[in-house]
Structure 1
């Protein structure tokens, strides 16, 4: 069912409905199963959580399924290659694997199994680690950055560090590490990163000062812009004019849920699709006013799964009281 746009302030959650347990092979009518994810790692994030990471399988992956033993415990969109498995027992070993499911619903084979052991929890530990200091970074090509920082301290031990891009956690490393490589970035794009320390009791430090880096290279946005963009005005039953938009979402490794509409060169409104966002043709309408003969220029862009804005669509011109733009 196609999702309904809601205002940006009403953040919509994506819910992916998957199969229960480990499915058998499903090759569909044609094509091959997704490959097994490689580069899978697991490390304790606290006494009750483990951070699982893996490499992207490739294009066309709709989601990844994470298993603890034979039980599926997490699902994430295809653009995400990490997850925190929570509600675990302290001082307990666990085994994890990952499987990829493509846009046609085919479930690939499991990755190799990886092990992690949660540390013991210390009673009445309410003291958070100190803020990690001296965060530094440098680009490593056009799609990766290297980060390093000064270790945080804790009255017990620092178990892990969370790396955040903006306000979103994108990576985690063990408490004995003070460096990380972040991959999957876009050329010619500005990013901001921070680091937070976590102890076994899940106490989280304040964020470090941010480091801002711009990946080298150029990105003209054509590969990330909505395509086949159309715009038209219509007069509603209330006598006012409305702008009707239609477009095809950009092809990305993941699901696009948020768009920004630019009207006459300025960001005019944002929308977030609730429920399951459309993978085919998407549509949206909004109020323009009551005056006929007003001319407007309109474009649209998508917020990509990595949190950055994609390229702007082709520009269309509309006039209230007239038909569709060419």
Structure 2
């Protein structure tokens, strides 16, 4: 059962022996190896049983408190018991403090994430974490590779790969297809070892003909205009029709477009004097307005006959 100081430090693979306060207020934390696998030879994997000696290292860790912590790791050197192993001895190491490392793994990862995710500069991250800027730069590069080197799912068209996308992407545009043609698409995933998943279910898409929609939408009918007090007017009309659908309506006053109703299903629009179009209306005057419909490809239909409204 780990002691309370070990739980507080929360550094995997080591345990806290004792803590002492130095004259400058810094706390020195003495550590011992707590991971049984640390005495396995890194070359052959055999577990050692004979101690060769001891060593002490001072790995730097994440800032903790106003004065921080100084870690002092008391670790052992072991004789490898495998006669044929080219490595006769080795020193303990754990995942959070690899062999030869001067900083903990979690400190290195935190430095990289500060630049990659938090928008910090390399210099600022180095200053905050008490590291050199080359160390932070290397940490950032390693952290960036975690994103850049994510396995790329493959998109196949008729069993031929046409795209690879990042692992967190779930949509892709496929270009270069022939008009009026049928295509079958599938997707499969790839893991970090390069192993491929089975293909997804097939979906079939038929591309549209390669010709523009030259038929304009019908003219909006039954346009009506009604003054709503001295500051507003309300326009209504019957919905226009088209074989490809109507995407918006253009509202014009005196030959000038004053608004586009982007929802094609909307057939009521209010013009307010105290809003965006205040300069287009005058109190106590007659105002002529007309409407036309717009297609998805950008073509416009015919205008309605003008209608007038008089603001009081």
TM-score (norm 1): 0.33
Structure number with the higher helix fraction is 2
Structure number with the higher strand fraction is 1
**Higher relative CO (CA 8 A, sep ≥ 6), structure 1 or 2?**
1
TM-score (norm 2): 0.34
